[in-house]
Structure 1
């Protein structure tokens, strides 16, 4: 037993340590995300790592597209440029492009702490500068003397395509965007301005305008990337919040289960310990107040014995109600079901309440619909339900009042018990409080009526175990009506001992209408 307890303790300790570690990790993640979301609107430095990742990922994905474009440009340029120059330029393009792809792969494989270092951005910028200069070298290749103006148009079209491609690849890092596109634009613009033809001036102006347009487009793509990253950070923040809430919920549930287990153990242990001395107190105080062993000449002593006996009974009832409710909540209350007449149980409970109703001159009226079949239920549980409701009705009904008890069929084929009094009623805003465990209305508190506030909770729990319904209707000054009903599934389809009578032969026994006036 000792080793088992120690193993359980070690398991709980390890589980608690794991949960604490997860909470610390989530707290760090939440702090990072909130710092990102709390950055100024136009300051996106907190997303540098993410933008560098997008840059490297785009370069890696374009590993085969750039050589293909360079190959197409080289193949067409053979019409105007010597193949030797074209081959040398193509080799330089492949080398610079391969250098960028290798750098991007190295960045992706680097540890997280190294990715945050600034030298990676410098490497990307230098690599894009070499890459842009290699494309700019294409526009400096000497052309054949017989080259026509079509070569100029091809230069301009190539410039637009390459600048557009580099804008898409380097938009997330503005410095790299300028390093990869500006050398080409400057070289092409300079080569066009060396000629005095209007067409060259026009193309030079268009090249500068295209550079400005693609730079603006790159800024817009950068804003879109930052917006996407902000949304992603917001989503991560929400996920972390949900994980935190889930962890707190699991922790609260674990604590609630542990508390419930401790409560059940406490009640199971203390029930015997409390009832044993209470039975002795009740027994001896009853002997003393009834003067079984002889007359008690001091009346105060006899009064004290009666008070002790009454207090002991109240305490025993309180313990029994708490144990009943705890047993029901723990799912340990078993129903011992059998066929029974609902009206018989109600009539028996009314007989038991005669003494209390007579003391307050309260009239009990019992009305029954004729021909009701038996129901399948736990007799002890139904008796406790009716007794609790009748006890509350008699307790809060004023002297000389009335309590009406009615048993009848429901609209869906079940059966119900209605208990209505003409007491002070319950305000609408206090009904939820009254229905809770240990809840009492303002009238009960003002009049200091004895009770624990567990009666209605036990009634609801027992009716729910029978798959029934519970409803309470009350208005101040108009009394209170409580209705409990059993479903159709619990009504016996065949009851041979039910005596069916002709409604035309209305006799007191047929309708079993009873009036117990005190």
Structure 2
């Protein structure tokens, strides 16, 4: 039995803090989720879906830069004609641009094809073949001569132009592995073969430079490719996480809607059961009081009289509990009707302090009252204001130790409203238990261990009543320093004092 009760207490406390996001267990769950996400990212790299996306990226890059390489070819041809090169250069330029036009057509076809319908092997081979075709123009460029230029190291110029074309292609075609080699492997080989007969030191240096540049820029293009893959992986994971978040959000919204409907149905049910719950209790209280006071005749057995008094006390406690539940239910269901009138906040609070004098004197607790004078009246429900003050004072008396002090203040707020503040020097409430004590039936650990028994409905009722009046409720507490609660009423409920009206004397003169 003891173990069962302890388990129930543990489960109840767990239910109270289930929404606490600062717990270490939740942090560890987040860490595990991050590790799982990273593992999924590592597994997705290199998948066929990613390769299709890379193929799409390559087609997009080729279309966006369709003018870049032909423009470079036109500039080279214009410079060559200006230097006096022969007609071979005019044949090379259209041939090379035709190769890039074929690449652009292939890229346009790939871009228009849905990604899930792309045949990875087929279109990769077509793209590589298109790059090889565009490389034929650069092979022809290697054989172009300029006898009329009067410039002996003309192969150096061709090597520099080839090096520039390799660098531009490495950037543009990085999304497709092997595109750079397919385009310039043959031109570089032909350049080396064309310079073989002379093998001048300059030609050897250019051949070595081109031979080194091709694997170097291939490595650079590979790095670009890996970066693109990682970006695709992160984008894919982001889309998956967004989808999961949307699913979880829709499920949460549905669960919240059902919970709100169930809570509203519960509140309406309890609010409508007031007569059915109170009628039998009134009979129990009435007959038990008749028996305890021996109105209809003496009870010879004193034990029976004690039982009757116990029945009356228990019934009174149960009636108070039912009244609190019904009040909270009416507040939650929006059926709490305010009987608004002009009331004086300080007078109501002062009367409530007098009602608590018996309890405070038994515990040797001193109540210090600080009320601002000449405060105008509030347009509020007197019964609700009285219930707010009594609940807050009752809590303060519960938790204030013998010989302690309760400070009650009534005054102006900065915005022109009025406030009620009650501060005690009790044990205080831990910060992580503040949401618990503000929930219905919630009680902190200190309250369970040391304070008088309560239902845990006082603060939620006070908060609801203050909110119905358009005000705010604030609870501040520190361990071993005490607790302060502040109920604030807005300036719109403060009744401005009317100016004095001029009276008319008997003679008709205004006074």
| TM tier, smaller | 0.7 to 0.9
Q: Confirm or deny that 1:451 pairs with 2:445.
A: no
TM alignment of 1:468-479, pairs within 5 A: 470=474
Q: Deviations over 1:68-127 (max 9, x none)?
A: 4334445555644445x843x555434432322222122222233233632222222222
Match of 1:62 in 2: 65
Give the C-alpha shift of residue 192 in structure 1. Answer: 1.4
Moved more, 190-199 or 291-300: 291-300
- Cα pair 1:36 1:46 within 8 Å, conserved: no
After TM superposition, the structure 1 stretch with the greater mean CA deviation from structure 2, 451-460 or 330-339, is 330-339
Partner of 1:22: none
Q: Is the 8 A contact 2:268 2:330 kept in 1?
A: no
The structural deviation recorded for 1:184 is 1.0
Pairwise mapping of residues 375-414 of structure 1 onto structure 2 (< 5 A)? 375-376=377-378, 377-393=380-396, 406=408, 408-409=410-411, 412=414
1:414 deviates by 6.2
- The change in CA–CA distance for 1:296 and 1:253 in structure 2 (over 3 A counts) is same
Match of 2:430 in 1: 429
Q: Secondary structure at the match of 1:338?
A: strand
Matching of residue 310 in structure 1 with residue 313 in structure 2: yes
Q: 1:366 to 1:183 in 2, by over 3 A?
A: closer
Alignment partner of 2:374: what SS?
coil
Name 2:164's counterpart in structure 1: 161
Change (3 A) 1:31 1:131: farther
Match for 1:195 among 193, 198, 219? 198
Could you tell me which of 333, 336, 352 is aligned with 1:333? 336
Q: Secondary structure at the match of 1:124?
A: helix
Cα RMSD (Å): 4.2
TM-score with structure 1 length normalisation? 0.72
The 8 Å contact of residues 36 and 47 in structure 1, kept in 2 or not, is answered as no
Rounded Cα–Cα distance in structure 2 between residues aligned with 1:481 and 1:98:
79
Verify the 8 A CA contact 1:341 1:375 in the aligned structure 2: yes
- In structure 1, how many angstroms separate the alpha carbons of the residues matched to 2:357 and 2:243? 63
Q: Which shifted more, 266-275 or 71-80? A: 71-80
Q: What is the aligned partner in structure 2 of residue 257 from structure 1?
A: 260
Aligned twin of 2:12: none
Cross-structure match for 1:27: none
More divergent stretch after superposition (197-206 vs 32-41) = 32-41
How has the CA–CA distance of structure 1 residues 364 and 487 changed in structure 2, closer, same or farther, with 3 Å as cutoff? farther
Name the CA shift for 1:218/1:313 in 2 (closer, same or farther; >3 Å): same
Shift of residue 57, structure 1, vs aligned partner: 1.0
Alignment match, 1:282: 285
* Residue aligning to 1:14: none
Gaps of 5+ in 2: 1-33, 501-511
Residues 145-195 of structure 1 deviation map (CA, whole Å, 9 limit, x = unaligned):
767546534433432232223222222223111101111111112111222
How many residue pairs are counted as aligned between the two chains?
Answer: 459
For 2:347, the equivalent position in structure 1 comes to 344
Structure 1 pair 455–51 and aligned structure 2 pair: CA distance change class (3 A): same
The answer on 1:324 being equivalent to 2:334 is no
Q: Cα–Cα, structure 1 residues 479 and 114, in superposed 2: closer, same or farther, change >3 Å?
A: closer
SS in 2 for 1:339: strand
Q: Match for residue 15 of structure 1?
A: none
Counterpart-to-counterpart distance in 2, 1:325 and 1:386: 16
User: Alignment partner for residue 222 of structure 1, among 217, 222, 225?
Assistant: 225
TM-score normalised to structure 2 length? 0.73
Structure 2 distance, partners of 1:388, 1:99, is: 85
Is the CA contact 2:268–2:333 (under 8 Å) kept in the aligned structure 1?
A: no
Q: What residue number does 1:374 align with? A: 376
| SS of structure 1 residue aligned to 2:342 | strand
> Helix, strand or coil for the counterpart of 2:123?
helix
Aligned equivalent of 1:37, options 18, 24, 41? 41
Give the match for residue 135 of structure 1. 138
C-alpha distance 473-414 of structure 1, shift in aligned 2 (>3 A): farther
Render the CA deviation track for 1:180-216: whole Å, top value 9, x for unaligned.
1111111112111222444333333333233344334
* Cα distance change, pair 232–265 in 1 and its aligned pair in 2 (3 A): same
Question: Which moved further from structure 2: 407-416 or 333-342?
Answer: 407-416
Measured after TM superposition, the shift of residue 356 of structure 1 is 6.0
Q: Distance in 2 between matches of 1:54 and 1:313?
A: 78
Displacement of 1:318:
1.1
User: How far apart, in 2, do the equivalents of 1:474 and 1:197 lie?
Assistant: 89
Tell me the distance in 2 between the aligned counterparts of 1:127 and 1:74: 22
| SS at structure 2 position matched to 1:139 | helix
**In structure 1, distance between residues paired with 2:149 and 2:420:** 107
Instruction: Give the Å deviation of 1:396.
Output: 5.9
- Could you list the per-position Cα deviations for residues 384-442 of structure 1 after superposition, in whole angstroms to 9, with x for gaps in the alignment? 1222234345556788x6876755545857655566778xx324438735554323455
Distance 1:147 1:444 in 2: 100
Aligned residue number for residue 172 of structure 1 = 175
